[in-house]
C-alpha cells in the first residue's frame, strides 16, 4: 500500500473490504443474523481511529462485498442512504440500525432527502411472483404511499406473527353474536328484544361501576346488519393494516376508538342515558385513519380504483351511521332506557384522523420520537381523566337516569 501515495477513496475502501473478507471468511455467511457486537467489530475495521464514523465510500464497499446476503431491495435502500449523507460519513448507531433492519427516524429523513433516485423498476412491475408474494405486494400497495417503504416491507415481511389481533377480535364478535342470537331467538335487530340489555357485556349507564363493560360491549351488536358491516370492514381494512404496522399499533388505535374518546367514556359524557353496543368506534377509527392517510398521500398511493373505493367506504360508513341515529331515536323496546347511542361512530372518526394518522404515517418509525404523538396522547389522557371524574360525580346530578336492566 505504501507504493501508492494517494489512492482514491473508493479503491482504498474496496481493498480494505477485500482484506476484511480474507481475515474473517465466516463473517459473510453470518452477516444477516449477526448481533450488535459483531457489527461493532466490523465497524471498527473501517474505523481504526475510533472516531465513531465511517465514510460513505467504505459503507458502500461493505454493502457490495456482502451483496449476496442482502435482499436486493434493501441493498438498494441502503445504497440510497449512503448517497444521501452530504457530509460523506455514517455514524455507528445508524450503521447498526441499518444492518440490523432497525429503521430510525434519521434513516427516513436521510432517504427522503437523498440525492439518489431508485434506479430499479417498481415493485409492481416485477414478474414471476408466487401467490404469497403477490399478496404481500398487494398489501404494500394498499397501505404504503412510498415505493421505498413498499420495497422494504416486501423484503421484510415474514407473516410471523400473523395478523392475529383483528382476526381474533372478529371471531369473538361473531361467536358472541351467534350465542346471543340463539339465546334470544332473534338475529335481526337483536337490540329491540326486551332481554337484550340484560347481557353482562353491554355498557349501561346505571352499571358503569362494572369496569369491564367499557370494553366488552364491542362483542354485542344491534343485529346481523350491524355485525356484518363491522366484520367486513375489519377484515378488508384492519387485517392489511395489521400486516404492515403490527398488532400493537393497530390494536392501540382500535382500543383507543373503543374505550377512550369515541367509545364508552365519550358516550358516558355526551349521551349519558344511553347504553353502548358494537365495535363501530374501533372500526371507524381504523377506516378513518386509512382514508385520511390515502388523501394526505394521494399521489403516492397506488392502490387501484382508490377514488371509487373511498366513495364506497364513505357510503357504507354513512349508511351504518344513519342506521345508528335512526335506532337511537326509535321508540325503545325497554323504556325508559333508550336504544344504544351513536356517539361512538363520531368519536371513532376523531381518533382515526388524529392518533390513527400519526401511527399510519410513521411506518417502522419510533412513535415516541414524533411530537404529534405526544400531543395526542396528552389530549386523550386528559379526556380519560375528565371522563372518569365525570362518571364519578356528574351522574349524581342527573335526575332521570334509566333504571338498570
Catalytic residues, by residue number, are 280, 345
Q: Give the phi and the psi of residue 276 in degrees, each rounded to 5.
A: -135, 135
Provide the angle, in degrees to the nearest 10, between the axes of the packed helices 164-184 and 224-233: 170
CA distance 45 to 295: 47
For cell 423498476, what's the residue? 121
Contact indicator for 151, 77 with CB cutoff of 8 Å: yes
Secondary structure (3-state) at 201? coil
Judge contact between 253 and 356, C-beta under 8 A. yes
Contacts of 311 (CB under 8 A, 6+ apart): none
In our burial notation (b when 16+ CB lie closer than 10 A, e otherwise), range 276-291 reads: bbbbbbbbbbbbbbbb
CA 45 from centroid of its chain's CA atoms: 38
Contacts of 292 (CB under 8 A, 6+ apart): 352, 353, 356, 357
**C-alpha cell, 2:** 505504501
What are the helix (H) ranges across 207-296? 213-216, 224-233, 239-259, 264-270, 280-296
Cell numbers representing residue 243 in the block? 400486516
3-state SS record for 109-171? HHHHCCCCCCCCCCHHHCCCCCHHHHHHHHHHHHHCCCHHHHHHHHHHCCCCCCCHHHHHHHH
In whole angstroms, how far apart are CA 142 and each of 139, 242, 243, 248, 312? 5, 12, 11, 20, 16
**Residue 103 corresponds to which cell in the numbers above?**
429503521
Q: Which three cell numbers stand for residue 31?
A: 452477516
Amino acid at each position: 500500500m505504501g507504493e501508492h501515495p494517494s489512492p482514491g477513496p473508493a479503491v482504498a475502501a474496496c481493498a480494505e473490504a477485500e482484506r476484511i473478507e480474507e481475515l474473517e471468511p465466516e463473517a459473510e455467511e453470518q452477516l444477516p443474523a449477526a448481533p450488535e457486537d459483531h457489527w461493532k467489530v466490523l465497524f471498527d475495521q473501517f474505523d481504526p481511529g475510533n472516531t465513531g464514523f465511517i465514510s460513505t465510500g467504505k459503507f458502500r464497499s461493505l454493502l457490495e462485498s456482502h451483496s449476496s446476503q442482502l435482499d436486493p431491495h434493501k441493498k438498494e435502500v441502503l445504497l440510497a442512504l449512503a448517497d444521501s449523507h452530504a457530509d460523506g460519513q455514517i455514524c455507528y448507531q445508524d450503521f447498526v440500525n441499518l444492518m440490523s433492519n432497525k429503521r430510525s427516524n434519521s434513516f427516513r429523513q436521510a432517504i427522503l432527502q437523498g440525492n439518489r433516485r431508485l434506479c430499479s423498476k417498481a415493485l409492481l412491475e416485477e414478474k414471476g411472483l408466487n401467490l404469497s408474494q403477490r399478496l404481500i405486494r398487494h398489501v404494500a400497495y394498499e397501505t404504503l404511499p412510498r415505493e421505498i417503504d413498499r420495497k422494504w416491507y416486501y423484503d421484510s415481511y415474514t407473516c410471523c406473527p400473523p395478523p392475529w389481533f383483528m382476526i381474533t377480535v372478529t371471531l369473538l364478535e361473531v361467536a358472541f353474536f351467534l350465542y346471543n342470537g340463539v339465546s334470544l331467538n332473534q338475529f335481526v335487530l337483536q337490540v329491540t328484544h326486551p332481554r337484550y340489555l340484560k347481557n353482562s357485556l353491554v355498557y349501561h349507564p346505571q352499571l358503569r361501576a362494572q369496569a369491564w363493560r367499557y370494553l366488552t360491549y364491542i362483542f354485542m351488536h344491534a343485529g346481523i346488519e350491524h355485525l356484518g358491516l363491522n366484520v367486513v370492514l375489519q377484515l378488508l381494512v384492519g387485517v392489511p393494516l395489521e400486516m404492515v404496522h403490527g398488532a400493537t399499533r393497530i390494536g392501540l388505535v382500535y382500543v383507543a376508538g373503543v374505550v377512550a374518546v369515541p367509545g364508552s367514556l365519550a358516550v358516558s359524557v355526551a349521551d349519558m342515558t344511553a347504553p353502548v353496543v358494537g365495535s363501530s368506534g374501533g372500526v371507524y377509527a381504523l377506516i378513518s385513519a386509512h382514508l385520511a392517510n390515502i388523501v394526505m398521500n394521494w399521489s403516492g398511493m397506488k392502490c387501484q380504483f382508490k377514488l371509487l373505493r373511498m366513495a364506497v367506504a364513505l357510503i357504507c360508513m354513512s349508511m351504518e351511521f344513519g342506521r345508528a341515529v335512526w335506532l337511537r331515536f326509535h321508540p325503545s323496546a325497554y323504556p325508559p332506557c333508550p336504544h344504544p347511542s351513536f356517539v361512538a361512530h363520531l368519536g371513532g372518526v376523531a381518533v382515526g384522523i388524529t392518533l390513527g394518522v400519526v401511527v399510519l404515517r410513521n411506518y417502522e418509525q419510533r412513535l415516541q420520537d414524533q411530537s404529534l404523538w405526544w400531543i395526542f396522547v396528552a389530549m386523550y389522557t386528559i379526556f380519560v381523566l375528565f371522563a372518569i371524574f365525570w362518571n364519578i360525580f356528574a351522574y349524581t346530578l342527573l335526575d332521570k337516569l334509566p333504571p338498570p336492566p
